[in-house]
């Protein structure tokens, strides 16, 4: 029988989902493992600057063009006293960090992280402790960071060497408060009340801020999505976003099923969106709550290793997943999924940025390198700015253990009208075959192919190390464009970025 694998698609500049909020390409730095100590901050390293920040890591972060970074947690924030991390370093206390059972030295804190973020070209998404603390600590922190001067906390910041306020605009009201692993776990009603009152106080200090309420820790929580509904029912008027967290793994070594897991992410987004809109209707509100997918990634490789770590050490190697090629493919599909929901997913944070389930790895006093997942994240962030288009895609499908009717082809497209560029992101999930793709792009008259980037490898388990970069992209993609039709050969298990731009014609 002839091979019937064939995909077709229509892209029209009028079929628009939404402007892509650049914050969808955010990331996350928690005081966890070597994300901070040995990751972004390592005084004495050959590449350390005058503040102890690793310049090699900063360069890799700047290449990603990360627009916003969530800090300082994560589970860690639920027992964190922010005051421990400001003022003279020699006076800062060492604390037991309960979430990850380590020693926190507090060498890095709020001011230092703001400095690092500025050097990285990123804004800060700051989280407040709603586990062991609440309204008072949060209002003091935002007074410290955002109020100009003339009060106790703002003048304390100035005494610490920061004359101008930090003007942090995005704030998380706690973290995963539904989780039994959380210090200070709360029911939805308990959390909704503290989130509402804390948010109210914070907006009295600075009415210009945006607030992110905690949603469920993941879709497997028994209270999902009731937790979101109850929380928003109580705190709707005070908050602007609801958070989503989700990690995926391939413990059963079933690549076909693994690569389909972004379908679960798609369902998660749709369910939370519907929940938000139900509460909007219930409240007869004109305000729309948008989504902050502020923890997402692949995470499963390091779990067995981490169970053997000794507690109460400083910056142990926790959650240091070594990512392989199939992980990069799923990360690409997850990015595509969020772009397809750009009308509601306005912020997202790949968790995390350095060493801890991260695209960037380092060795202490040594080098840094790019993991496989770095590349789809890079391509989406750099080329995925503009308007997310609605592709009309017809793709062959397959069934897997947990999913039915899985399209072999995942696709998102972003149109940069000002730059006159169209970028098409594609994943071919077929484990064996190339799939031909025909795309109708007649509305993009005068456009030509600028480049076709491909990330592929014959071994799904191939990974990058400090010594060998086995998985890297190339620009030898097989595509052509003529008479408004784009023809591409999408190689088996590949991530593709096809960039079109309008060619300049010489006027006579």
Active site residues per annotation: 176, 295
User: Hey, is 48 helix, strand or coil?
Assistant: strand
User: Hey, is 217 helix, strand or coil?
Assistant: coil
Q: How many residues does the chain have?
A: 508
Compute the distance between CA of residue 182 and CA of residue 178 in angstroms, rounded to an integer.
Answer: 8
Which parts of 215-341 fold into alpha helices (H)?
226-235, 255-258, 262-282, 303-306, 325-340
Element (DSSP H or E) covering residue 188: helix 188-205
Sheet holding 447-456, edge to edge: 16-19, 387-389, 409-416, 421-428, 494-502, 447-456
- Give the pairing of strands 447-456 and 494-502: antiparallel
Asked if residues 65 and 118 have their Cβ atoms less than 8 Å apart, the reply is no
Q: How many CB atoms lie within 10 A of CB 390?
A: 16
Compute the distance between CA of residue 261 and CA of residue 334 in angstroms, rounded to an integer.
Answer: 9
Name beta bridge partners: 241. Answer: 212, 290
Residues in CB range of 506: below 8 A, 6 or more apart:
none
Pick the closest to residue 397 from 385, 389, 405 (CA basis).
405
């Amino acid at each position: 029988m002839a091979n019937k694998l064939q995909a077709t698609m229509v892209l029209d500049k009028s079929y628009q989902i939404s402007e892509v909020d650049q914050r969808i390409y955010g990331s996350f730095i928690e005081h966890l493992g070597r994300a901070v100590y040995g990751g972004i901050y390592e005084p004495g390293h050959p590449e350390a600057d005058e503040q102890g920040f690793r310049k090699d890591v900063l360069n890799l972060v700047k290449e990603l063009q990360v627009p916003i970074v969530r800090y300082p947690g994560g589970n860690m924030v639920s027992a964190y006293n922010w005051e421990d991390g400001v003022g003279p370093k020699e006076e800062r206390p060492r604390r037991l960090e309960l979430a990850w059972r380590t020693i926190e030295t507090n060498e890095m804190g709020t001011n230092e992280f703001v400095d690092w973020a500025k050097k990285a070209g990123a804004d800060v998404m700051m989280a407040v402790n709603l586990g062991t603390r609440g309204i008072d600590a949060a209002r003091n922190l935002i007074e410290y960071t955002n109020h100009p001067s003339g009060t106790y906390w703002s003048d304390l910041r100035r005494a610490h060497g920061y004359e101008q306020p930090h003007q942090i605009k995005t704030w998380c009201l706690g973290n995963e408060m539904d989780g039994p692993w959380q210090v200070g776990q709360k029911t939805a009603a308990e959390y909704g009340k503290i989130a509402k009152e804390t948010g109210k106080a914070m907006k009295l200090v600075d009415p210009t801020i945006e607030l992110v309420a905690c949603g469920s820790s993941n879709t497997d929580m028994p209270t999902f999505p009731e937790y979101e509904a109850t929380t928003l029912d109580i705190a709707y008027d005070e908050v602007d976003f609801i958070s989503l967290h989700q990690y995926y793994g391939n413990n059963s070594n079933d690549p076909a099923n693994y690569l389909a897991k972004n379908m679960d992410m798609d369902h998660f987004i749709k369910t939370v969106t519907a929940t938000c809109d139900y509460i909007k209707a219930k409240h007869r509100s004109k305000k729309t709550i948008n989504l902050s997918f502020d923890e997402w990634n692949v995470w499963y490789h390091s779990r067995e290793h981490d169970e053997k770590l000794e507690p109460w050490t400083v910056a142990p190697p926790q959650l240091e997943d070594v990512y392989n090629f199939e992980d990069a493919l799923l990360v690409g599909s997850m990015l595509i999924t969020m772009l397809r929901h750009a009308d509601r997913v306005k912020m997202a944070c790949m968790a995390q940025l350095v060493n801890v389930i991260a695209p960037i790895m380092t060795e202490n006093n040594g080098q840094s390198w790019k993991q496989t997942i770095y590349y789809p994240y890079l391509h989406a962030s750099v080329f995925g700015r503009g308007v997310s288009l609605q592709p009309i895609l017809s793709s062959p499908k397959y069934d897997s253990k947990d999913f039915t009717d899985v399209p072999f082809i995942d696709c998102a497209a972003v149109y940069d009208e000002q730059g006159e560029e169209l970028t098409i992101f594609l994943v071919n999930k077929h484990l064996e075959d190339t799939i031909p793709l025909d795309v109708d792009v007649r509305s993009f008259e005068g456009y030509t192919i600028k480049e076709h980037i491909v990330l592929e490898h014959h071994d799904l388990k191939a990974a990058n190390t400090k010594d060998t970069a086995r998985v890297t992209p190339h620009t030898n993609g097989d595509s052509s464009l003529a008479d408004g039709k784009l023809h591409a050969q999408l190689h088996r298990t590949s991530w593709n970025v096809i960039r079109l731009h309008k060619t300049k014609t010489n006027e006579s």
